[in-house]
Amino acid sequence: MVRRVWREDFRIIGYYTGLVTIGVGLLMLVPMVTSLVFREWASALDFAISAALTLLVGYVLALVSHTKNTPGLTHAMVIAAGSWLVAMVLSGVPYLLSGHAASFLDACFDTMSGYTTTGLFLLQDLDHISQGLNMWRHLLTYVGGQGIVVLALTFLIGSTGGAFKIMVGEGKEEKLEPNVRHIAILIWRISLIYLGVGTVVLGVIAMANGIKPYLALFHGAYIFMSAWSTGGFAPYSQNMLYYHSSAMEIASMVFFILGSFNFALHYAVWSGNRREILRNVEIVSFTITVLTTFSLVCLALMQRGVYPNAVALFRRGFFQLISGHTTTGQSNIYAQTFVLEWGPLGMLATTIAMAIGASAASTGGGFKGLRMGIIVKGIATDIRKLLSPERAVVTGHYHHLHDNILSDGVVKGAAVIVVLYVLIYVVGAVVGMAYGYPMVNALFESVSAGSNTGLSCGITQASMPTLLKIVYILEMWMGRLEFLSVFTMFGFIATSFRSMRLRKVVA
């Protein structure tokens, strides 16, 4: 039986969503300062207006619905899903004011792409946007990777009751520490240490490639934020191709492979359990699927004779494949190269890699290696059961931080989420095909959006059909939050209407 919805439920949801919105408003001060440093007065004004508006909305929401009650599981799910929508709309204001977004829908597309660490973009004349807007794009991706709710939890939400549930709603369900605030701080600590290391490494490489020192540091920070968060944005429209640097590509690859790891794995390895990296089911599954799908890409590219030697094949082929598999979306080839040179097999192998994606509770998207590992182990256990004597008790195990028993419930839970992902991939592909795009291209782009990857074969551009933009936004949102919180939000809205009708009937 579904419970009724009361006014207090709205207050709890409104209050916490308001706090997250205030967090987003405060975040806008970073690109504003960047614009001031670069003397981009118009851009600084855009961010000042946007920050004021966002802070006002957040403050009013928190004030009007102020409550001391902590959220339950339903509230938490609705807050997580709703906060991302509110953040998408308000974060789109600077894009619109900059004049680089053709419409507010395009601006929302880009902010959702940023927050969900997808990396698809509709912004026009990307090569001439302000440093402030560039900082904002990459900051969205960096914060989105850690989770905007995690950000708010760290700095704004003092109480820990119910806070962990909001994090679960955002797809970060690993409980590393008993205190949720400590988990959020831990996630930020790991990310910020890597931010320092990554910015210096990538900045030095950019400098060695002839970019001015102060600008090289910004480029280093942008590329790191994009790589670590498995986002895929880059300051220029040519993405990684702009740098023509294998050192930059390899350094970026290292950071997005690390970014695709589960935060619980980072925590275990950083706490001294270094063997975990070789034993963890997600990493084993990830390594196998990366090498398998890369072999398919090699086969496709060798058949077509696209690259003249092993170095070129590795540099282009592996970069694209691992970028897809970690759901990063950085690219060192042109979008059309997939269609014109890689062909159906190459595109399909990359599509499979994107669909599988990164690790659970990481910055990445897709089914996740954990679920792939669990399902494969579940199938293997079932086969072993069939081959064993009838009286034999066969139990499966998988190693994720510690040895776990593979129950039917765990396998079923993983399979349900995988089916839901396949469903959104197919829906997006069908809508693309309805607009006349070839099946392989439509599937590639849909999986890229749904798995929060961001590789494009050329469909995503400002002139694409409006409905397709909306479908991709929904795919990005659902894919990032792993469905549960989104479905709970829809259920909550439906229940609210029913409760209102019931109250009218009683009155």
Partner 1 sequence: MNAGTRTKHMASLRRNLLGMLTEIAFACGLIGAAFLVSWLFFVGR
The footprint of partner 1 (CB under 8 A) covers: 193-194, 197, 250, 253-254, 257-258, 261, 266, 269-272, 274, 277-278, 283, 287, 290-291, 294-295, 298-299, 302, 309-310, 313-314, 317-318, 321-322
Q: Which is nearer to partner 1, 296 or 426 (CB)?
A: 296
Min separation Cβ 205 and partner 1, Å: 15
Q: Which is nearer to partner 1, 287 or 336 (CB)?
A: 287
Q: Which is nearer to partner 1, 92 or 324 (CB)?
A: 324
Q: How many residues does the chain have?
A: 507
Whole-number Å distance between alpha carbons of 25 and 53: 8
Q: Which is nearer to partner 1, 23 or 259 (CB)?
A: 259
> C-alpha distances in angstroms, 246 versus 53, 196, 223, 240?
43, 21, 14, 10
Q: Which residue has the tokens 């790991």?
A: 190
Token pair recorded at residue 349: 């192998």
Q: Which is nearer to partner 1, 254 or 416 (CB)?
A: 254
Q: Is the CB of residue 421 less than 8 Å from the CB of residue 396?
A: no
Min separation Cβ 194 and partner 1, Å: 8
Min separation Cβ 331 and partner 1, Å: 17
Q: Which is nearer to partner 1, 157 or 356 (CB)?
A: 356
Which bin fits 211, alpha (ψ -120 to 50), beta or left (φ > 0)? Answer: beta
Which ranges of 339-463 would DSSP assign to H, the alpha helix? 343-356, 369-387, 408-434, 439-450
Instruction: Give the DSSP letter string of 57-73.
Output: HHHHHHHHT---PPP-H
Which helix (H) or strand (E) element contains residue 9?
Answer: helix 7-27
Q: Which is nearer to partner 1, 74 or 293 (CB)?
A: 293
Min separation Cβ 348 and partner 1, Å: 18
Min separation Cβ 286 and partner 1, Å: 9
Nearest alpha carbon to residue 324 among 342, 344, 351: 351
Nearest alpha carbon to residue 142 among 169, 158, 174, 119: 119
> C-alpha distances in angstroms, 298 versus 294, 315, 330, 335, 371?
6, 12, 19, 18, 26
Min separation Cβ 262 and partner 1, Å: 12
Min separation Cβ 309 and partner 1, Å: 7
Q: Which is nearer to partner 1, 60 or 254 (CB)?
A: 254
Whole-number Å distance between alpha carbons of 31 and 28: 6
> Per residue, what are the HEC states of 104-136?
HHHHHHHHHHHHCCCCCCCCCCHHHCCHHHHHH
Min separation Cβ 332 and partner 1, Å: 14
